Chains A and B, each alone.
Chain A
Amino acid sequence: MHCVWCDQVIIQEMSWSNIFFLQKPKNLCDKCENKLEILSGNRCKRCSRASEADECNDCLWWAKQFNGQDPLEASYSIFTYNSLMHDLVAKWKYRGDYHLANAFQQIFKETFVKHFTNLHKGAVTIPIPLSAERFSDRKFNQAKVLADFLPLKQINIMNRIDSEKQSKKTRKERLSTKNPFSITEKVNKPVILVDDIYTTGTTLRHAASVLKENGCPHIYAYTLIRG
């Protein structure tokens, strides 16, 4: 196996445990893996941001916007958006290096199983869609790739119409954008929205409010990165 980021050959160290129990092959070498930073310590229980308080100021602000009825109940993320992650995401999404997603396959699944334990049985995942234009450039949807890693039924009922990239806007512009999402079908099961990164939370809340308005009972989000 070669590391998907630095292309060095990965040689696993021999130990008693991997002589007796075969381990899953790794896609990221130890050196690169150590440069990624997993969110730890106290965090906001709604959006996973590092925070001493139970709910961070951002989430309180959001709650106020929706008069206490924030459509997004909780969001969980794994990594911080540090410099290596920034480079990785840039190459993965904007350059279109589809293969890089494999770096996260294992951890994305394992963390999900650990953190969404008492989930309703009928829960489904919905990956945040790309606009048709962007999709034809990139040829894949990174959120769908991530959702495919999860052991849960996935439904693709959401559409997106917008032109500008979120990452090119300022925070203020992002917060004031129109809702670009629409759905083709109603869902009456709990939903987990899957996306690559939670930055301001606008995208996820746009998607969540469309679902909520159409009678979805519970909406959670699961993202790879908390920006």
Chain B
Amino acid sequence: MFDQHLLQLNDSHLHIKFADIDELSYLFSGKLLLRSEIHLVEEHFQELVTSGCFTPIPSIKKKFFQPQCQRCGNAERSLFAAIPCQTCNKPHIYCRKCIEMGRVIECEPLYCWNGPMAKWQRHESPCSWDGQLTVDQQRAADRISQAIIKNEKEILVWAVCGAGKTEMLFPGITKALQLGKRICLATPRADVVRELLPRFQQAFSKISIQALYGGSEDRDATAQFIIATTHQLLRFQHAFDVMIIDEIDAFPYHADPSLPFAANRSIISTGTKIYLTATPRQKHRMKIASKKLPHIFVPLRFHGYPLPVPVFKMCPALRKDLEKNLPPMAFIRWLKKREHPDRQLLIFVPTIALAEKMKAKLIVLLLKDGFLKDDFDLVSVHASDQDREEKVNHFRQKKMSMLITTTILERGVTFPSVDVAVLDAGNRVFDEAALVQIAGRAGRSPKDPTGEVLFFHDGKTEAMVQAVKSIKAMNKRGGVG
């Protein structure tokens, strides 16, 4: 990953010579950049600074003797350090939190564009999608469009797993493009960005859409419609009229204060923020309950069937089995008499180490009983897996029948017909949101709208109980529970 970054940094030698000011306004308006990220020759750059097109702003400010990075908002003491700067002969502090995106150091300012603003085009009929929305989806889509037209500040769209969130956005985005607004769809995970880009390119075939994530091909972010990871928002300031944040409850967005900081900074003051989630966190639920956050709830999956309710399976000897990297006996028993043995099986485990080790043991065990075709019928996948995209694609194409995964596949991926088993569901990595999302992997297709979800545990946890409770509550609100 680092090498990729380096390559791209070195490409910056391809400096732009004297471009005209309109072109520059598309490149730089709405951005907050370090000098090293502005690929202009020094002479030209200085000219733009003196003419006031670029405004330098201090990169680290001190607030009550506490430094704060102006790019990522970090104010954590342990994430600042000092370099004895030889050019200025005194120590300078720098931010260690966002250093992956280039070092922010006290003695070098950040630059924002103050020249002529980019004029975004109004598109008459941008949408090339001809699908049909369900009644529930339409209701939500109308509400989103209304929020965009009226410049409402924020709205949360709470739609159950498999409700078809992406399609619900199309009418709203169409409206925004007709009004000449700039749009950003941000999500915490790069995988999701890669999955969303082709879908939107298909639905808005005439619009230029750029995808930004660590190591992406598009780097200059000049498009009217941008799909990005939330990390990339650190380079923006007052850029977007409409900001859609997908999976707002997902890691790392909800755990890292820099990301909401950047998201809030990157929209203009009259802009609209749209949050999408299937499992809102406590914070947002409280705001909804106290009517401080407008929301729209979509309780039904697009095919109209309820969410599968997880079944608990107690395994008293779970610890012992897991120590030997074996699945619990109850899992094997269930596997042997599954109702739909033709469905693929998704197995969630709490740790990467367990995913890899259990794979080997399970293959031996299941080959003997004839549940697997061959050695490659069961694979494991986790966050630091190089071939993760490929494996997930193969699983989707039904090239293998079982997949062992960590929580990375808990959301954003769709497999048409699977059963889901969670081993050690009581582990703390499986919080309520994760368990609801995991259960939501089953029964995604209208052809096979149900699916079994099993939690193997050695003692119920609050998260498990709450997950089932909230799934039942959502089904009830949808009138199908």
Q: Which residues of A contact B94 (CB under 8 A)?
A: 96, 98
Known: A2-B78, A87-B2, A90-B2. A98 touches B100 (CB 8 A): no
Q: Which residues of B contact A95 (CB under 8 A)?
A: 99-100, 102-103
Question: A139 contacts which of B2, B79, B85 (Cβ < 8 Å)?
Answer: B85
Q: Which residues of A contact B273 (CB under 8 A)?
A: none
Q: Is A7 an interface residue when CB atoms closer than 8 A count as contact?
A: yes
Question: B86 contacts which of A94, A99, A135, A168 (Cβ < 8 Å)?
Answer: A135
Q: Which residues of B contact A136 (CB under 8 A)?
A: 87
Interface members, chain B 90-120 (any A CB < 8 Å): 92, 94, 96, 99-100, 102-103, 105
Q: Which residues of A contact B85 (CB under 8 A)?
A: 139
* A-B residue pair count with CB separations less than 8 angstroms: 42
Mark B274-309 against chain A: 1 for CB-CB distance below 8 A, else 0: 000000000000000000000000000000000000
Q: Is B255 an interface residue when CB atoms closer than 8 A count as contact?
A: no
| Contact between chains at A94 and B103 (CB < 8 Å) | no
Q: Which residues of B contact A2 (CB under 8 A)?
A: 78
| Contact between chains at B6 and A97 (CB < 8 Å) | no
A222 to chain B, nearest CB (A): 22
| Contact between chains at B2 and A140 (CB < 8 Å) | no
Q: Which residues of B contact A94 (CB under 8 A)?
A: 2, 6
Q: Is A134 an interface residue when CB atoms closer than 8 A count as contact?
A: no
Q: Is B83 an interface residue when CB atoms closer than 8 A count as contact?
A: yes
Complexed CA–CA distance, A90 and B99 (Å) = 11
| Contact between chains at B100 and A139 (CB < 8 Å) | no
Q: How many residues of A contact B (CB 8 A)?
A: 17
Q: Nearest residue in B to A140 (C-beta to C-beta)?
A: B83
Complexed CA–CA distance, A98 and B93 (Å) = 10
B109 to chain A, nearest CB (A): 15
| Contact between chains at A97 and B96 (CB < 8 Å) | yes
Q: Nearest residue in A to B9 (C-beta to C-beta)?
A: A94
Complexed CA–CA distance, A135 and B83 (Å) = 13
Q: Is B131 an interface residue when CB atoms closer than 8 A count as contact?
A: no
Q: Nearest residue in A to B3 (C-beta to C-beta)?
A: A90
B470 to chain A, nearest CB (A): 31
Q: Is B81 an interface residue when CB atoms closer than 8 A count as contact?
A: yes
Mark A1-30 against chain B: 1 for CB-CB distance below 8 A, else 0: 010000100000000000000000000000
Interface members, chain B 377-436 (any A CB < 8 Å): none
Complexed CA–CA distance, A48 and B100 (Å) = 32
| Contact between chains at B99 and A96 (CB < 8 Å) | yes
Question: A140 contacts which of B78, B79, B84, B99 (Cβ < 8 Å)?
Answer: B84
Complexed CA–CA distance, A95 and B100 (Å) = 6
Q: Is A91 an interface residue when CB atoms closer than 8 A count as contact?
A: yes
Question: A91 contacts which of B81, B82, B86, B99 (Cβ < 8 Å)?
Answer: B99
Q: Nearest residue in A to B10 (C-beta to C-beta)?
A: A168
Interface members, chain B 152-169 (any A CB < 8 Å): none
Which of A91, A94, A97, A98 gathers the greatest number of chain B CB atoms within 10 Å?
Answer: A98
Complexed CA–CA distance, A39 and B191 (Å) = 37
| Contact between chains at B2 and A99 (CB < 8 Å) | no
| Contact between chains at B2 and A98 (CB < 8 Å) | no
Known: A90-B2, A135-B86. A99 touches B81 (CB 8 A): yes
Complexed CA–CA distance, A93 and B442 (Å) = 46
Q: Which residues of A contact B102 (CB under 8 A)?
A: 95
| Contact between chains at B96 and A99 (CB < 8 Å) | yes
Interface members, chain A 78-98 (any B CB < 8 Å): 86-87, 90-91, 94-98
Complexed CA–CA distance, A187 and B459 (Å) = 71
Q: Which residues of B contact A140 (CB under 8 A)?
A: 83-84, 86
Interface members, chain A 96-112 (any B CB < 8 Å): 96-99
Known: A7-B78, A91-B99, A98-B83. A139 touches B6 (CB 8 A): no
Q: Nearest residue in B to A89 (C-beta to C-beta)?
A: B2
Q: Nearest residue in A to B97 (C-beta to C-beta)?
A: A7
Q: Which residues of A contact B84 (CB under 8 A)?
A: 140
Q: Nearest residue in B to A97 (C-beta to C-beta)?
A: B99
Known: A94-B2, A97-B96. A7 touches B87 (CB 8 A): no
Interface members, chain A 57-92 (any B CB < 8 Å): 86-87, 90-91
Question: A98 contacts which of B3, B79, B81 (Cβ < 8 Å)?
Answer: B81
Q: Which residues of B contact A90 (CB under 8 A)?
A: 2-3
Known: A90-B2, A95-B103. A139 touches B86 (CB 8 A): yes
Complexed CA–CA distance, A136 and B85 (Å) = 9
Q: Which residues of B contact A98 (CB under 8 A)?
A: 81-83, 94
Mark B1-22 against chain A: 1 for CB-CB distance below 8 A, else 0: 0110010000000000000000
Complexed CA–CA distance, A99 and B102 (Å) = 15
| Contact between chains at B103 and A96 (CB < 8 Å) | yes
Q: Which residues of A contact B103 (CB under 8 A)?
A: 95-97
Complexed CA–CA distance, A97 and B83 (Å) = 9
| Contact between chains at B105 and A139 (CB < 8 Å) | yes
| Contact between chains at A139 and B78 (CB < 8 Å) | no
A49 to chain B, nearest CB (A): 23
Q: Nearest residue in A to B384 (C-beta to C-beta)?
A: A83
Q: Which residues of B contact A86 (CB under 8 A)?
A: 2
Known: A90-B3, A97-B81. 8 other contacts (CB 8 A): A90-B2, A91-B2, A95-B103, A97-B103, A98-B83, A139-B85, A139-B87, A168-B6
Interface residues in chain B, defined as those with a beta carbon under 8 Å from any beta carbon in chain A = 2-3, 6, 78-79, 81-87, 92, 94, 96, 99-100, 102-103, 105
Q: Name 26 interchain pairs, CB-CB below 8 A, sorted by A.
A: A2-B78, A7-B78, A7-B79, A86-B2, A90-B2, A90-B3, A91-B2, A91-B99, A94-B2, A95-B99, A95-B100, A95-B103, A96-B83, A96-B99, A96-B103, A97-B81, A97-B96, A97-B99, A98-B81, A98-B83, A99-B96, A135-B86, A139-B86, A140-B83, A140-B86, A168-B6
Query: Which 3 pairs between the two chains have the least Cβ-Cβ distance?
Result: A99-B81, A90-B2, A2-B78
